[in-house]
Chains A and B, each alone.
Chain A
Amino acid sequence: DVKVTQSSRYLVKRTGEKVFLECVQDMDHENMFWYRQDPGLGLRLIYFSYDVKMKEKGDIPEGYSVSREKKERFSLILESASTNQTSMYLCASSANGGFGYTFGSGTRLTVV
């Protein structure tokens, strides 16, 4: 079964820490995405990548950066975590020209 795997299900970090969220897909998809999900706001796009080492800002990139050194892996980095970054983070992937996303199960991050 094809998968998008997020390394942590739950994560608790302190304000000011540097946080890494990892995502791996086994479908050889070109495109990978990071969304955050908040009640009443739906899913909002943080960053996406359409190729290795390539990245594009989404709607809410402030306070985040990303890294894609290998095709199957896409990392989201919180340079200095803040309490307003407490959220559910969802990674997804898609093939070029494909219409559907495959999502991971999410990482619930709490910043205290």
Chain B
Amino acid sequence: QQQVKQSPQSLIVQKGGISIINCAYENTAFDYFPWYQQFPGKGPALLIAIRPDVSEKKEGRFTISFNKSAKQFSLHIMDSQPGDSATYFCAASLSGSARQLTFGSGTQLTVLP
């Protein structure tokens, strides 16, 4: 079974600190790796994504680091803010028109003021 393993399950960070969430995958055929952010009472929303032909992608305070040889990728949130408190899911998908996403188990991030 295709799996994406995510850690940690929960994370508490002080305001201004760096939040790091890690994911590992097994299927080397995965070719798209998004991160989703979910606030309470809402559905997940796409935050940032990366393809395996690059090692890093940055959008504002959010950066994905991708290590193809280790089959790992991570989300870094710089200068974490209380408004970043949410649940974060990594995911991976295979090529194809429907692109089914396989999700990690989620990380509940709390940023203390």
Contact = CB atoms under 8 A, between A and B. Distances in A.
Interface residues of A, number: 29
A100 B34 contact: yes
Given A99-B49, A100-B46, A50 B105 contact: no
A48 B6 contact: no
Contact of A59 (B1, B43, B89, B105): B1
Interface residues of B, number: 25
Could you say which of B6, B34, B100, B104 has the most chain A C-beta atoms within 10 Å of its C-beta? B100
B42 interface: yes
A12 interface: no
A99 B89 contact: no
Nearest to B105: A42
B98 interface: yes
Contacts of A27: none
Contact of A42 (B1, B45, B89): B89
A92 B106 contact: no
Interface string A17-48: 00000000000001101010000111111001
B58 interface: no
Nearest to A58: B100
Given A40-B9, A99-B34, A105 B42 contact: yes
A75 B100 CA distance: 18
B103 interface: yes
